[in-house]
Amino acid sequence: MSIQPLGDRVLVQEIEVKEVSVGGIILPDSAKEKPQEAKVIAIGTGGIDSNGKEITFHVAEGDTVIVSQYGGTPVKADGQEYKILNQNDILAIVK
């Protein structure tokens, strides 16, 4: 299955945090923070925004980004978990 976001939306896959702390303690799921790093899988179709300007994307497929902790809509496809979010929910590109 292929997912193509529409408009200014971006499909990302979260990058999981390590399960072991620096001191070697294994962290239970309840103690883990929600991941904020994600890999861009697909970008939207673009279009025209409400002000009549063309939507330009500042990220590309394959980029590693930092996203809003609770932003986006979770989606499952082919046994994988993804998130569809607005480009505005992407806070930074990791270089």
pTM attached to this predicted model: 0.80
Interval 51-80 mean pLDDT: 92
pLDDT above 80 (res 29): no
Residue 16 binned pLDDT confidence (cut-offs 50, 70, 90): confident
Residue 48 binned pLDDT confidence (cut-offs 50, 70, 90): confident
pLDDT above 80 (res 25): no
Angle at alpha carbon of residue 72, lines to 10 and 17, rounded to 5°: 95
Distance CA 37, CA 60 (A): 15
Instruction: Output the pLDDT for position 19.
Output: 64
